[in-house]
Chains A and B, each alone.
Chain A
Amino acid sequence: MPQIFEASKKAFITGNEAIAWAALAAGAEIMFGYPITPQNEVMHYWTRLAPEYGKGFLQTEDELSAGFTVCGAVQSGKKAFTATAGPGNVLMQEPFGMAEAMRLPLFAVIQQRGGPSSGTVVYSQQEVTLTTYGGNGEGHRIVYSTATHQEIYDYTIKGFNTAWKYRFPTFLLGDGYQAKMREPLEMYNPEEHGIEMVKTYPLVGLQGKIGEDREPQHLCNIYSLEEELYEVVLKFAAEYEAITPELVEYEEKGCEDAEIIILSHGVVSRAADDAVKILRAQGIKAGYFRPITLRPFPQKQLREAINRKPARKLLIAESAYGQLDRLTKQEIYGETVAIENLFMPGVGIIDYDIINKVKSIM
């Protein structure tokens, strides 16, 4: 694979630009997209880089088309991706469902904006439920929730590899703040960091003469009988559960003696990290837990963190009205820790918000 950078380099760029560079470094070959804020600059940077590196781009008629063209592109064996947000994410649930059903190595970036409906173009964490469990399926998807530009870069590269290795649709879940703000990061060629890019391969348009060298491919997503579908879904579930231990990622700090654990994800976890440091300096034993993969969820690790001391309280802080909260509760069902909430749908959360909340409940 051609090297994009002569050597790894420091950059001070927006999250959307970091995605375009990371996709390039990951060897992505074509992007399909439809304008929606706050993901537009992913397309803007990609379209500027594409000619120089011989990459493809198509601005489709809508998000349905962007999602389905990616489905077609990956079926033909090309490393393809898209990026969207909000109502676009809603429309893309249809192609994401097809990717789930046909096990297509689709990779999509979601930059969350406010909802419901057109909401705001700015920021939220309100697309957690949609991205993890959207569609008429079982949520057999892999969702990375990033918190820094370095992670955006790292997990874009990793996202392509995850999609092609496991063939479950894979998502990088960011938000408008991460999309638009500038932050320093290191950009690099994957090989320099010891990352081997997973080779792509076609599912249709195979080499060889049909009937002599090979059989024709007949890919399907619809079944005649309930039992046929049942077998397929059970197989997917078993495969998903088998790979879960190698997929789950999380971050944990100070949970060993924590009276209260702050649970958050994405950009909010930066505020949680600061809040925990300040609370500890003030003598309150607070801990920090952050799922990086929202699907699959690090439920075993969270249960262990809760039970280590054990913590008396779990504070779930999110820029949504309980989406991480519901996800967490279903994952840690049976734990008796008291769960408190800081729900701020569609607005940012800073350390001060979390500290105040903790003091009001401790």
Chain B
Amino acid sequence: MGMIAPAIPKSWYLPSKPHKFCPGCGHGIVLKALGETIDELEIQDQVVFGCDIGCSLLSWNFFACDSTQTHHGRTTPVMVGIKRSRPELITIGYMGDGGGYSIGSQHLLNSAVRNEKVTLILVNNTNYGMTGGQMAPTTLPGQKTETSPFGRDVDLTGYPTRGPEFIAELTPDSAYVARATVSKYKQLRRFLRNALRNQMEGNGFSFVEVLSTCPTNWRTNAQQTWHFLEDEMEQYFPIGEIKTPFGKGDK
């Protein structure tokens, strides 16, 4: 009996497949969209892919592109160092919400202010997945995690970080800032394409936050997972292009 294999992006590194993310994790969707975008833009040989520590680390040999591991929170400066030295390369930093908004927030903020010509993709799953599900800057009010076992108390720990919104405030018009979700694949592809195009055209800083799923640590079934992503997360983290040099922007 013949099987129709799903199309695999050319820029994927096949020896590392099947990938090691948990069942139901959104990383695979983001990385498939990124792979297809790299193929579409024909930039596989120019890309340098850098990944943070945490679940994003599992992407370190995901692509058949030159790639490097970094440290937790330090993907941004490593990508900046490469781009500043070799502007012809296309640098893609891949990180989680902890890496980008907490331990590496100073790098994210200042590279945005300097309008560094790098593309950063930040996967927001509202918790630290790799270390066992602790509270992240993006954990929703009331959400239970290992370090907020009775639910996030905003009086004690503040409100979730809205990254693209603050980055949009810090960047000039030539930057690209968007929030996508793994539940809207075509839109995710379009935002990633725009974020890479913006770097390729030498315009400025490009940042895409992607809302993603973590059923392992959320302790949710498929239905609950999708509900949390589409209803609860999207309510707090609105989807759309917040800043784009390419037309009006997609809300």
Contacts and interface: CB of A to CB of B under 8 A. Distances in A.
B65 A216 contact: yes
A76 B48 contact: yes
A208 B109 CA distance: 34
The 9 closest A-B pairs by CB, nearest first: A72-B81, A69-B81, A68-B77, A61-B110, A204-B66, A72-B78, A78-B85, A72-B82, A65-B77
Interface of B: 13, 44-46, 48, 50, 53, 57, 60-61, 63-71, 74, 76-86, 89, 106-107, 109-110
Contact of B86 (A32, A62, A68, A76): A76
Contact of B107 (A65, A205, A210, A221): A65
A29 B81 CA distance: 12
A185 interface: no
Given A75-B68, A210-B64, A216-B13, A205 B82 contact: yes
A72 B79 CA distance: 6
A30 B84 contact: yes
A75 B75 CA distance: 13
Most buried by A among B65, B86, B89: B86
A70 B81 contact: yes
A77 B71 contact: no
Given A77-B85, A77-B86, 12 more contacts: A64-B74, A64-B106, A65-B110, A68-B70, A73-B82, A76-B81, A76-B82, A203-B68, A204-B82, A216-B66, A218-B13, A220-B68
A219 B69 contact: yes
Interface of A: 29-30, 32, 56, 58, 60-62, 64-65, 67-73, 75-78, 80, 94-95, 98, 102, 202-206, 208-211, 216-222
Contacts of B48: 76, 204-205
B84 A98 contact: no
A263 to B, nearest CB: 37
Nearest to B48: A204
A220 B81 contact: no
A210 B74 contact: no
B65 A222 contact: no
B70 to A, nearest CB: 7
Contacts of B89: 76, 204-205
A134 to B, nearest CB: 15
B227 to A, nearest CB: 34
A78 B78 contact: no
A71 B64 contact: no
Given A73-B81, A75-B68, A205-B89, A216 B74 contact: no
Contacts of A78: 85-86
Nearest to B53: A222
A62 B76 CA distance: 13
